[in-house]
Amino acid sequence: MRSYYAILAASCFYLGVGRCSSKTLTIPSLSEASEPVPRDLQSYSLEFAFFPDYAGNKSSPNRFSRNLLQNFKNITGVYPRVRVGGTSQDNSIFFSNQEESVKLIFQDPTADQPSEIHYGPAFFESYEALGDTKYIHGLNMRQNTSMRQLTDAAVEACRMMASNLDSYELGNEINMEAPKYRPANYTLQSYVEEWNAKTNAIMKAVEQNCPGARPGFMAPSWVIAPMVKVENWTLEELFHNGFDPKNRTTDISFHQYFGAFAPPLAPASYDLQRTLMNHSNIVDNVAPHIERARNLAYLGHPYTLGETNAIANQGRNGVTNVFGDALWLADYSLWCATNNIKRLHFHQGLNYRYTSWQPILSKGEPPKTRAPYYGQIMVASAIGHGQDARIVNIPLPEDTESAYGIYKGDKLSKLVVLNLQAYNQSAVLNRPSRDYQFRVPGHIKQAKVERLSAPGSDSQGSVTFGGISYDYDLLEGQPVAVQDLERPIHVDRGVVRISVPDSSAVLLTLS
């Protein structure tokens, strides 16, 4: 480990290894379009079927999950918002007389998800296990046997969850799923009419049984990704064809992935660099959301990615469960925040290959904090406690690098620099680095240094941020210092200089 950490302090002096830039980079000022970044930008989506595994219940909470969410509260002052949904929400049927929390029915025991879920009132005890967290509860639009089961589930949610129920979500990715579960003549207009009718029934039941409760809806929860093309289902038509006439939507939600775990597959190392550790690919994938958010701004609702992660179909080993994914996640999150996307709900599931943590022992996999979690902690640390953080992108020339300035109010407060060039932990050569220098206001004298680091982009373990580990094996996800803090760097006449090794990132807090 000595040689790995030693190179974190390497500079451009090593001309055969480092890559230098004599250009001093200017940090863009805030634009009029820049909006404050919500402190719960880093949020979660938990697969409906596995929510009790992640949360535990009132009498036996999952302390590991609770600790990991508490870390965000400690850093930003708020908990991540948690959506409980996904594919399995549209396979979930509520039975008011069922004693068990949840019954999972697998047609294929090797499948990532059950084919059917039965849940009862005890399921809602899991919502009391993770602290003062706000939740979006997923409701089944696709396969309810009666409207009564749908409204019973909604009423049980508002009764049990009270003020922790932020909103409902009716259906998951219906724009992709409708051809599988609806008649051939089911159209966008059919969807609009069905959604309106069911939300009317839900809200009528809620108003009758939960006086004073006013949960809204996260909608429409469509998936928008390169591999999904659905003819005649356009968002412009949706919102102009009578969708949600009573304005019950509180958050606009779309789903985003950067590819799918399906043949043909490139080698994992190639896929990691091409698909994830590539700033230009992030820009290209997020561009449709930026345009859509502008087009839908007239609705007055926050634009969110209610389910997102790297590679659909639960991720891919060697790509989404390694440190390179943490770097992607940080760059992706900061780029979205720069462009006024308000929340990213990173999807999680038991044994999923992109999950930020494995909550319990399952299929031989013990509880574990995984690399992506550290990327989220870095982003949360960049935002911090303040309610007036705004972010600007600092243009850089290569696909394998990115940088951001974080303002508090109108004052530059922090810098984030990401070196996305892949470096394998098994490499025999010294780890290359890139040197950067930024022009900062003259009153700034030094910068605190917190690095997001691991032995390589292909590492599954030994990940830290700011010398801190959140591993389960150390203190069940609570922060533990495992390295000495790096000394603050001196700012020389308004210029801050920093070296960033390949496959690493750094947060600089200016003072």
pLDDT tens per residue, range 53-100: 999 999 999 999 999 999 999 999 999 999 999 999 999 999 999 999
Regarding whether 409 and 360 lie in a shared domain, the answer is no
Dihedral angle at the C-alpha atoms of 178, 183, 187, 193, nearest 10 degrees?
-90
Closest CA to 44 of 349, 339, 315, 323: 349
Among residues 360, 388, 416, the one where a domain terminates is: 388
Regarding whether 280 and 152 lie in a shared domain, the answer is yes
Q: What's the confidence (pLDDT) of residue 230?
A: 65
Mean pLDDT value across residues 136-152: 90
Is 13 a residue whose pLDDT tops 60?
A: no
Regarding whether 375 and 232 lie in a shared domain, the answer is yes
Regarding whether 350 and 320 lie in a shared domain, the answer is yes
Write the pLDDT tens digit of every residue in 460-474. Answer: 999 999 999 999 999
Regarding whether 181 and 61 lie in a shared domain, the answer is yes
Among residues 337, 370, 388, the one where a domain terminates is: 388
Phi, psi at 372, each rounded to 5°: -55, -30
Regarding whether 162 and 285 lie in a shared domain, the answer is yes
Q: How many CB atoms lie within 10 A of CB 421?
A: 22
Regarding whether 485 and 374 lie in a shared domain, the answer is no
Regarding whether 370 and 456 lie in a shared domain, the answer is no
In a domain, residue 24? The reply is no
Regarding whether 334 and 242 lie in a shared domain, the answer is yes
d(CA 452, CA 418): 9
Respond yes or no on whether the N-terminal peptide bond of residue 267 is cis (omega within 30° of 0). no
Regarding whether 228 and 109 lie in a shared domain, the answer is yes
Q: Work out the pLDDT band at 288, boundaries 50, 70, 90.
A: very high
d(CA 325, CA 319): 7
In a domain, residue 452? The reply is yes
Regarding whether 421 and 351 lie in a shared domain, the answer is no
In a domain, residue 74? The reply is yes
Axis-axis angle for helices 371-383, 63-76 (nearest 10): 30
Residues spanned by the domain of 463: 390-510
What is the tally of structural domains in the chain? 2
Among residues 339, 365, 388, the one where a domain terminates is: 388
Regarding whether 168 and 71 lie in a shared domain, the answer is yes
d(CA 189, CA 299): 20
In a domain, residue 308? The reply is yes
In a domain, residue 21? The reply is no
- Both structure tokens of 172: 């998951």
CATH number of the domain within which 283 lies: 3.20.20.80
b/e map of 334-359 (b: 16 or more CB within 10 Å)? bbbbbbbbbbbbbbbbbebbbbbbbb
Q: What's the confidence (pLDDT) of residue 4?
A: 41
In a domain, residue 233? The reply is yes
Q: What's the confidence (pLDDT) of residue 269?
A: 80
pTM of the predicted structure, to 2 decimals: 0.94
Q: What value does the mean pLDDT of the chain take? A: 93
CATH number of the domain within which 471 lies: 2.60.40.1180
In angstroms, how far is CA 440 from the centroid of its own chain?
Answer: 30
Q: What's the confidence (pLDDT) of residue 229?
A: 65
Q: What's the confidence (pLDDT) of residue 20?
A: 59
In a domain, residue 36? The reply is no
Q: What's the confidence (pLDDT) of residue 16?
A: 37
In a domain, residue 26? The reply is no
DSSP codes joined into one string, 424-447: -TT--SPPPEEEEEEE--TT--EE
- Residues forming a β-bridge with 358: 368
